[in-house]
Amino acid sequence: MGFLSSFLRFHRWMSLGMTFFIVALSCQYYILLGAFWQRVVKNTNWYATNRIVLVGLGDCCAAVKSSVAILITYGALLGKIDAFQLTFIIIVEEILYTLVEAIIFYSMFVRDIGGCFSIHGFGAFFGLGASVIYSSRSNCKDNPNNRASYSTSTLVFIGTFFLWVMFPSFNGIHN
């Protein structure tokens, strides 16, 4: 995903670094919030489980999927926000994403194998809403930093190739 978000000439290396930052922060934050919202939606007795969060391989895969929703949002905000604003967006989006995911999976019992509802839909709509808030009309048109170059096109090709190779395994992992 980091290679895919490096299409702008000015932001190509920043987008790779921010991708690593997004994945590192959101995966850790998802483990706590996912367990919290799952217990709230399922109405689990907090004292019966001794308030322990058990982390397994499925939780780690779900955490990586949650970071993909935030990376989709970051694609709409690339070049418009700094690291502090991105941290705020990660925190807010992760809270809302885990709530929506808990409602979809544990209250409505929807099976979303490819992540169309929970990952792509939520990330796209949250990204559109955040870009309306963070964008000004003057900095979007005719900005020289919003152009591609040969090296950015090469990085995007590498990202597209890796995503094309890895996407079937993403669909095979389900909650």
Q: What's the whole-number mean pLDDT along residues 131-156?
A: 67
> Would the pLDDT of 127 be above 70?
yes
Rounded Cα distance, 164 and 156, in Å: 12
User: Tell me, what's the pLDDT at 93?
Assistant: 93
User: Tell me, what's the pLDDT at 175?
Assistant: 46
Question: What is the model's pTM?
Answer: 0.75
Percentage of residues in the chain with pLDDT exceeding 70? Answer: 68
User: Tell me, what's the pLDDT at 94?
Assistant: 93
CATH classification of 12-172 is 1.10.10.1150, yes or no? no
Domain ranges of the chain: 12-172
